[in-house]
C-alpha cells in the first residue's frame, strides 16, 4: 500500500500538478485536502472526488488517514507547517524554495530527521525520465567532458502577485532561478565553489532579473538567468568537449512527450565546417509529478531519499549566496 496524501491548501499547483500527479502515480492515494476556507475545501473535494475535506490545516495534519503532506503554501509558511506535520509523524513534500534562508532550511531538515520523517523539496523536474536519461548520457560521456550548463527561466509576473513581496520570500531567484541552479548542481554533481551574480530589483525590493555564473569542481561552469519581466522561456543546455544537449520546455515538459536535441562533433573541425551530427531525442510521456510522488513513496519505504531527490538544504545555501552577490538581502 502506498502513501495516503493530504494537500495543505488549495494552491494552483495542486490543481495543475499534484492532484493529477497523485492520481497518475503507481503508489499514491489522495486522501484529504485542507483550506482555511471550509467551503473551498468542500468544493475542491467534490470536484476532485477527494474523500475528506478539512476546514483548517491543523485538522488535516491530525488526520490519522494521512501519511504524507504536501505543502504548497507561500514561502514564509513553509517552516511552521513542515514542523507541525513532522510533529504529527507525517512525511513532507514541500514546494520550492524550501525555506526563506539556509538557517531556516537547516532547522527544518534537522527537525524532520529528529521526528523520523522524510522531507523532500518538490523539484518535480528531477524525476522525469528525460532528466534521468540525459544525466546518464552526460555521465557516460555522450558530449565529452561537461564544461558548461546554461539555463533560462522567465515569465512576466502580475504586479499584484505575492511573489513581489520581500517579506514573503519573493523574487525571481527563489521562484524560477532556483530551477537553473538546481539543474547546474545536478548535472555538475557537486556544489559550486565560487560564483558571481548581478540583478535588477522591483520597487518593492525583490530581484526581478538576475544573471548568475557558478564555478563547479572539475572546471564546469554554469550560466543561469531568470526574470519576472521577460517573455516566457524555459530551457537548459549542457555543453561538453564533444557536443551539446539542448532541452526545450526544460522544467515543464509537454504531456505529449518531451524531447531534447543532441549535437555531437564527428571530429575536431573548423567553425562552420558542417560535420556536426544533430539528433532529436524523444522521451516517454510520463507525468513528472506522478514520477515524483512514486519516488517519494519509495524513499519513505527505504527510509532515505532516493536519488536524484533534493532535500533542499544544499540548494538553499547556494541560493542564499546568490542573493548576497546580487545584494538583495
All residue ranges of the chain with pLDDT < 70 are 1, 267-274, 328-329
* Topology of the domain covering 4-125+290-306: Rossmann fold (3.40.50)
Catalytic residue of the set 42, 79, 90, 96: 96
Residue boundaries of the structural domains of the chain: 4-125+290-306, 129-285
CA pair distance 253, 34, nearest whole angstrom: 29
So what's the pLDDT on residue 227?
98
So what's the pLDDT on residue 49?
95
CA pair distance 64, 45, nearest whole angstrom: 18
So what's the pLDDT on residue 276?
84
Q: Give 26-94 as a DSSP string.
A: SS-EEEEEE-SSHHHHHHHHHHHT-SEEESSHHHHHH-TT--EEEE-S-GGGHHHHHHHHHHTT-EEEE
Encode burial over 11-37: b for 16+ CB neighbours within 10 A, e otherwise: bebbeebbbbbbbebebbbbbbbbbee
Q: Give 10-22 as a DSSP string.
A: --HHIIIIIHHHH
What is the β-pairing status of strands 243-248 and 259-265?
Answer: antiparallel
Q: Is the CATH code 3.40.640.10 the one for domain 129-285? A: no
CA pair distance 230, 91, nearest whole angstrom: 37
Listed in sequence order, the DSSP H helices in 98-210 are 102-114, 129-139, 172, 178-188
So what's the pLDDT on residue 329?
46
So what's the pLDDT on residue 304?
97
Is the peptide bond between 97 and the residue preceding it cis, with omega within 30 degrees of 0? yes
* Residue 79 known to be catalytic: no
Amino acid at each position: 500500500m502506498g502513501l495516503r496524501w493530504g494537500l495543505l491548501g488549495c494552491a494552483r499547483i495542486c490543481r495543475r500538478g499534484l492532484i493529477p500527479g497523485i492520481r497518475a502515480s503507481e503508489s499514491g492515494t489522495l486522501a484529504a485536502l485542507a483550506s482555511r476556507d471550509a467551503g473551498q475545501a468542500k468544493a475542491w473535494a467534490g470536484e476532485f472526488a477527494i474523500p475528506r475535506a478539512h476546514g483548517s490545516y491543523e485538522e488535516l495534519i491530525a488526520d490519522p488517514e494521512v501519511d504524507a503532506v504536501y505543502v504548497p503554501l507561500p514561502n514564509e509558511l513553509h517552516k511552521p507547517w513542515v514542523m507541525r506535520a513532522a510533529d504529527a509523524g507525517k512525511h513532507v513534500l514541500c514546494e520550492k524554495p524550501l525555506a526563506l534562508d539556509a538557517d531556516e532550511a537547516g532547522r527544518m531538515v534537522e527537525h524532520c530527521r529528529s521526528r523520523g520523517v522524510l522531507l523532500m523539496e518538490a523539484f518535480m523536474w528531477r524525476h522525469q525520465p528525460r532528466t534521468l536519461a540525459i544525466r546518464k548520457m552526460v555521465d557516460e560521456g555522450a558530449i565529452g567532458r561537461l564544461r558548461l550548463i546554461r539555463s533560462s527561466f522567465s515569465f512576466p509576473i502580475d504586479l499584484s502577485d505575492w511573489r513581489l513581496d520581500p517579506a514573503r520570500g519573493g523574487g525571481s531567484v527563489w521562484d524560477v532561478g532556483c530551477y537553473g541552479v538546481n539543474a547546474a548542481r545536478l548535472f555538475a554533481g557537486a556544489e559550486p565553489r565560487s560564483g558571481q551574480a548581478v540583478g535588477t530589483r522591483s520597487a518593492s525590493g525583490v530581484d526581478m532579473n538576475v544573471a548568475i555564473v557558478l564555478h563547479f569542481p572539475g572546471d564546469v561552469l554554469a550560466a543561469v538567468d531568470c526574470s519576472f519581466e521577460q517573455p516566457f522561456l524555459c530551457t537548459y543546455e549542457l555543453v561538453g568537449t564533444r557536443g551539446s544537449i539542448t532541452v526545450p520546455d526544460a522544467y515543464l515538459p509537454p504531456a505529449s512527450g518531451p524531447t531534447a536535441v543532441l549535437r555531437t562533433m564527428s571530429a575536431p573541425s573548423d567553425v562552420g565546417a558542417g560535420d556536426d551530427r544533430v539528433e532529436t531525442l524523444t522521451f516517454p510521456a510520463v507525468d513528472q509529478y506522478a514520477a515524483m510522488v512514486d519516488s517519494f513513496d519509495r524513499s519513505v519505504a527505504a527510509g532515505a531519499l532516493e536519488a536524484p531527490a533534493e532535500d533542499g538544504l544544499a540548494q538553499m545555501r547556494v541560493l542564499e549566496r546568490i542573493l548576497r552577490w546580487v545584494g538583495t538581502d
